[in-house]
Amino acid sequence: MKVSAAAAAAAALLVVVVAAAQAEASELKLGYYGKTCRGWENVVKYHVAKAIRANRASGAALVRLIFHDCFVRGCDASVLLDPTPANPHTEKTAPINIGLAAFEVIDEIKAALEERCPGTVSCSDILVFAARDASSILSNGHVHFDPPAGRLDGKVSRAADAQRDLPDSTFTIGELIRNFRRKNFTVEELVILSGAHAIGVGHCSSFRARLTSPPSQIVPAYRNLLSGRCAAGPDPVVPNNVRDEDPRAVAAAFPSFLKKLRRSGDFLDNSYYHNNLARIVTFNSDWQLLTEKEALGHVKEYAENGTLWDEDFSDALVKLSKLPMPPRSKGEIRSHCRVVNGHHHHH
C-alpha cells in the first residue's frame, strides 16, 4: 500500500499531537473515559466497596489519600510512588505522611483496569474516584459528587514537597489559614475539609502536646483517655473520632461519654463539629478552629446542619480534585501506580 506524502505528514503530526497530550495535562472533563474505558467507574466502586467491607479503615485511608495527593503537586498520584535507589525520599516517606494506607486497594483497581483497557486510566484518576466512592460509602451516600477525569500521573515525588505543602496537626489557626490560602482554599473550606476527622485514626506522635493541654483546650477525661491509649506503645494509633473509641477505655476514663459511642466506626458525618465544640478532638489543628471568629462560626454552622456539611464537603472534594500539576510538568499514564513508567516493577 502506497502512502502519499501528505498522508504520511498528517500521520506524523498526529503522533506529535498525541505525545503532547501525554505530556501536558489537558482540561479535565466529565465522562473523560466514556469512549476509551466504558464502565471503569464501576470497577473502582466494586473494589472500594469490597475493601471497605473487609475493613472500614481502608475507606478512611482512601479519603485521606485525595487530600495528601492533591495538596502536593496537584492531583498527580505523586503520593503513590514508592522510594527507589534513585529517589529514596518520595512523598510517602515524609513524616507528615505517617500512616498513609490503602495503597493496595489502588494497586488492585489499577491491575483490573489495565486488564480491561490497557494504558488508559491514570492512577491519579483512580485515586480521586476511589476517594469519592469511599466517602460515599462511609457516609451512607450522603457525600456524593461527580468529579471530572483526565488527570495525568506525575514523575516527580519528593518528601520535602509534602513537608512544605501539607498542614501539620500541630499548626495554629494562623498557620492553617495561610496553608490553605496558598492552595486557594478559604477559611470555610479549611473548616469543611477538617470535618474528615470524623473518620480514621491519628498517631499519638501527631498530638503528643495535647496530652498536657489545659482543660480550656481539651476535656480532662478525654485527655486522660488519650494518655492511657498513648502509653500502650511507642506510637500507637487512636480513633480520630471519640465516638469510635473502645468502650472499655471510655468506661474507664470517660464514662459519661459511653452513651454517645456508635456501633459502626468510621461513619462520615458532621460529628466532628460536635466533638470539636465539646473539646473532645485529638489534634491541635482541630481545636485551633475554635480560636478564630470566622472558623468558629463555621464549626457551629456545621454542628447544627449535617446536610449542609454533606453538600459542602462534596463540593470541597471536587475543588480539591481539580488542583493542577505545576506548570510545564510532564505527566503520563503509569502502568503500575507505585513506579514511573520505564522502571522495572517487582512484586
Query: Cα(47)–Cα(179) distance, rounded to whole angstroms?
Result: 33
Per the prediction, the chain carries an average pLDDT of 93
Q: Do 40-166+322-332 and 173-321 fold alike per CATH?
A: no
How does pLDDT run across 190-212, given as a tens digit for each residue? Answer: 999 999 999 999 999 999 999 99
Position 189 pLDDT exceeds 70: yes
Q: Per the annotation, does 239 bind a ligand? A: no
Angle (CA) 76 309 190, round 5°: 50
User: Residue ranges of the domains in the chain?
Assistant: 40-166+322-332, 173-321
Residue 173 to residue 191: CA distance in whole angstroms: 11
Per-residue pLDDT at 42 exceeds 50: yes
- Which residue do the cell numbers 495535562 mark? 25
Summarize pLDDT for 298-323 with one digit per residue, the tens: 999 999 999 999 999 999 999 999 99
72 labelled as ligand-binding? yes
Residue 125 CB burial class (10 angstroms; 0-12, 13-18, ≥19) = buried
Question: Residue 138: which of 47, 41, 62, 246 has the closest Cα?
Answer: 62
Whole-number percent of the chain with pLDDT over 70:
92
Query: Distance between CA atoms of 158 and 312, rounded to whole angstroms?
Result: 31
Phi-psi region of 21 (alpha: psi -120 to 50; beta: other; left: phi over 0): alpha
Confidence label for 346 from pLDDT (cuts 50, 70 and 90):
low
The fold of 40-166+322-332 is: Peroxidase; domain 1 (1.10.520)
68 is a catalytic site residue: yes
Residue 216 DSSP code: T
63 marked among binding-site residues: no
User: What is the spatial distance between Cα 106 and Cα 103, in angstroms, rounded to a whole number?
Assistant: 5
The yes-or-no verdict on residue 16 having pLDDT over 50 is: no
Q: Is the pLDDT of residue 5 over 80?
A: no
Model confidence pTM above 0.85 = yes
Q: What is the mean pLDDT of residues 129-136?
A: 98
Residue range 138-164: average pLDDT?
98
Q: Which residues pair with 237 in a beta bridge?
A: 203
Please write the tens of the pLDDT for every residue from 47-66.
999 999 999 999 999 999 99
76: annotated binding-site residue?
A: yes
89-109 burial, b if ≥16 CB within 10 A, otherwise e?
ebbbbbebbeebbbbebbbbb
Q: Is 321 annotated as a binding residue?
A: no
Is 301 one of the annotated binding-site residues?
Answer: no
Q: Is domain 173-321 given the CATH code 3.40.50.300 in the classification?
A: no
Q: Is 133 annotated as a binding residue?
A: no
Residue 197 counted as an annotated binding residue: yes
Which residue in 68, 142, 274, 336 is the catalytic one? 68
pLDDT at 34 over 70: yes
